[in-house]
Every structure is written in structure tokens, then in C-alpha cells.
Structure 1
Amino acid sequence: MRLPNNFGGVVKLSGNRRRPFWARKTVGYNNKKHPIFLTIGYFFTREDGIQALVDYNRQKTIYSPGITLSSLYRLWLPTHINKVGSSAVDGYKTSYSHLQPIIGIPLESLKFSDIQSCFDAMTNLNYASKKKSRTLLNLLFNYAFTHEYIDANPHYGKLLDIGKK
């Protein structure tokens, strides 16, 4: 039986084991492009493992309900590194450092006014640096929405006032 994409999988481990079926889900990739697995559990039968995957995927949030921008950034960056060049990754790291005042706030309680005040405090940065920080926020919110950490994508990037070009 084939499982849906991004659902996880159940594999049978070799040897004489008490619970030979390993339910796992790929959560990212390391620098060598090898998958990083999250273990859901070990089970007596394949059907038990699939049921555990169904229960796991039914949850709204994968890791925790109080996920912060900092945690989200650490989850997002390994998946995005493969899609962009090294200079873009350096730009994201710099932009992340500019967002220090808001990275500890959980996404559920992060308000537009918090983000705008963070950008207002960036008085020593030029328009391009603020734009890169806004782009990073948009990418993080898109990631959070597609991975169901938030119910709706707030699209704060369109509303932020980052100054004139």
C-alpha cells in the first residue's frame, strides 16, 4: 500500500525483534542530503505503525503549539538551503540577526505591531536590508502555514512599512 506524500512511512527492521516495525517521518535533510527522521515509534505490526502515523499527522502542530520564530527558523533553514545559493543563505542569517527583538515570541501571540516596531527600530539599516528581513519573515510564515503551525498566513510583508527605496 502506498502512503501519501509527506505522510511518513513504516519500515521493517532486520533481525529478530520484539517490535520490528519502525514508524518514521522525514523532517529535513542534513548537509550530505541524507534524510533526518523523526521516530514516531516501534510497533508489533505494520498496521499499528500506519495507525500511529495517521494519529500523528492528524495533529494540528507537529512539534509544539508555542513554536517561536527562532524554532521555526531552525526548522526552515535546512530545507531551504538546498534551493538557494550560499550568498542568499548568508543574507538570511544576517536578516535573522536583525529580527532579534521578536524571535522569542510564539507565533500565536506575535502581532503586526510587534513586527512593525522591530522594523521601526532598524534605523541604521538601508532599504535593501529591511527588504531582505521582510522577505525572510514572508518565507518563515509561508513555511509555518504549509506545515500547519499557524491556521492562516497573515501576509504581514505586504502591510509592513519599511521606508522608501
Structure 2
Amino acid sequence: MKNPNGYGSVFKLSGKRRRPWAVRITTGWTDDGKQLVEYLGYYETRQKAMLALAEYHNNPYDLSAGKITFKEVYERFKKEKFPKTLKSNQSGYQMAFNRSKMLHDMKFVDIRKSHMQSVIDNCNKSHDTLRKIKVLFNQMYKHALENDLAQKYYSRFVELPKNKDKSTRKPFTMDEINLLWDNIDRFDNIDAVLIMIYSGLRPGELVEIKNENIYLDKRYFRGGFKTDAGTNRVIPIHKKIHRLIENRMDPKNEYLITNFEGNKLSYYTFYHERFKKIMEQLELDHRPHDCRHTFATLMDNAGANKLSIKRIMGHAAKDITDKVYTHKDIEQLLIAIDKIK
């Protein structure tokens, strides 16, 4: 079906290209009737190109790379990125954007390293906040370069100050871990704390584990998010928590960790109503992420293979070229995790 006059067109470029489908918009006409056009962008498939054209007409913006502002690039980035991003990361991007107010109305092509560096240098917040601002800059430039809205990756030159923030994360001591084991039959949910300590799971990842992704006979489960390396990774089950996981699994429930009705438990509820209560009962001073830090410490102290530690914890590494796990890979992860005694 032909598009209406002036609607724009989608066509395939010649040659071998990663994004061969181009979208072109009519922006006007010369005095002698010649059509004036601007390119909306380039896409991997015709379907994506048609969708981009339709979205443009639902919410038109100035296509000229010389006119589009930082704020407009952010709105485009947001529309593309947020549907595929966790809410916690969305909040981080929005916070970083709000902290970059001095750039909002600047033409994107006029922004240089010095402008972004000024945002960082004049933001009197934590190092983690500054890091999130730079992450946003990098993501926006990636989007801009992919859509021909920028010619140079200026954000890569932005520098963060030395991190002087004292880390609040501290691993559980062996005495504290033994205290958890000693009280596992006395207090509910201590098993969930131990599962995190012996798996390296983030607390937010723990409440997302589904029973269907747990393979007790093969001693591993799949789970995780946040990074490409961390999403849906294979996590071996340490022998000490095998029974704890088995006891938690209920065929009537979808998730491993649930509320009293057997439904999915939110991270907020897990932290405030369960984890904090355990820490108070045992007079311990820890936050949920300390469990993950403890796992890393235990693995390192046991001399586990560095690459295996990265794969289990979902850390990006140059040595990890894909996310395909063979039987041999899983065996290596089990060997690594069983080094913890």
C-alpha cells in the first residue's frame, strides 16, 4: 500500500549493510518544485523502518541534526531504550538527565567534552551519581551515532573524579555465616539469605528466580539481569544450599521466593519485611547486597577460577565471547563453586 503524499518513504539501500533500510521524510519544496528531504534514520529491517516512520508522525520532531537539542535526543533515546530497560535503570537515566539541565536546550551537535565535563564537575553528589550521568552521556551518544545525529563520540572523553566515597558494602564474616546456619530452623527466610551468600545473586535477582528454571538434578539454575553478561546466566547450586532450594520449591508456585499467598515477592517487601527483620533478630549489620559481596570474597579466598567467578556473578569479561553454556562449562562452574567449604 502506497503512503500518502508527503508522508515519507522507506527503501532499501544497495550493498551489504548492517542497517540497510532507510527512512526519508519530505521537509518541503523548492521554488521550482524540487522535493526537499531529510533522513530519519537507518534500520535493520523494513518493519523497524516503517515503525520508526509511523512513530515520527505520531510525535514529529526536527530531523535536522544541526537543530535537534540534547533534550530531544534524550526523548528519542528514552522511547527506544526504556521499553527494554528495568525500572531501576530508567530511574537512573532520568535522574542523570535531570542533573544535566544546563545541556537540555543546547543543540546536540554543539555539545563538546567541556560541556559534559562541566556537568560532572559541578554536580556535588556521590561518585555513583556522577557515574550514572556519564553512563547516560555514553548511551545518548551511542544512539546519536547510530542515527546520524552526531559525528564524534565526545562523551568517551569525559572524566570522573577519583572515587573517594567509602564503600558501605562489607562481607559477612565466617562467624556470622555460621550464626545464620545455626538459626536456620529458628527464623523464617534465613535460607534466602544463605542462598544469596552461596550463589552471588543480587537481591533483586533472587525474587525473580522461577521454579521452572531450576534444575536440581544437574545442580544449576538460570536467572539474573542488569547486564548482557548477567541476564539469564547459568548459576551453579552449591551443595550447602541444594536442600534449601529444594525445600523452597513448591509446584503450585511460579517463583522460588514468594509471599504468604504463594505469589511473587517484591524486592521492597523482601528487604524491609524479611531481610531487615533477620538482621535485627540476630543483631547483625548488613544490607542485602553484602551477600553478593560475601560470595565474591569466599570464591576468591578459595582460589576459584577467575573466569568462572565472573560468569557466575554475571560480570562482563573479555574472555566471555558468548552466553552459550555447554555441559563442560557447567561442570567447570560447579568445580569452581564447590571450592567454597
The TM-score, its normalising length taken from structure 1, stands at 0.62
Matched-pair contact (CA < 8 Å) for 2:96–2:133: yes
Matched-pair contact (CA < 8 Å) for 1:95–1:136: yes
Identity %: 14
Partner of 1:55: none
C-alpha spacing 1:69/1:126, structure 2 compared with 1 (3 Å) = same
Q: Distance in 2 between matches of 1:72 and 1:140?
A: 7
Structure 1 position 105, deviation (Å): 1.2
Secondary structure of 1:138's counterpart equals: helix
Which segments of 5 or more consecutive residues in structure 1 lack a partner in the other structure? 10-24, 28-34, 41-61
Secondary structure of 1:37's counterpart equals: helix
Secondary structure of 1:128's counterpart equals: helix
Partner of 1:7: 22
User: Residue 53 of structure 2: which of 29, 37, 57 is its match?
Assistant: 37
Q: Distance in 2 between matches of 1:79 and 1:39?
A: 11
Aligned pair count reads 123
Partner of 2:127: 127
Q: Deviations over 1:55-106 (max 9, x none)?
A: xxxxxxx812221110000111011012211111111111110010112111
Partner of 1:54: none
Partner of 1:82: 83
Q: Distance in 1 between matches of 2:152 and 2:52?
A: 27
C-alpha spacing 1:147/1:160, structure 2 compared with 1 (3 Å) = same
Partner of 1:66: 67
Q: Distance in 1 between matches of 2:161 and 2:107?
A: 23
Which residue identity does 2:148 align to in structure 1? E
Matched-pair contact (CA < 8 Å) for 1:131–1:162: no
The CA RMSD over aligned residues, in Å, is 3.3
Secondary structure of 2:53's counterpart equals: strand
Partner of 2:158: 159
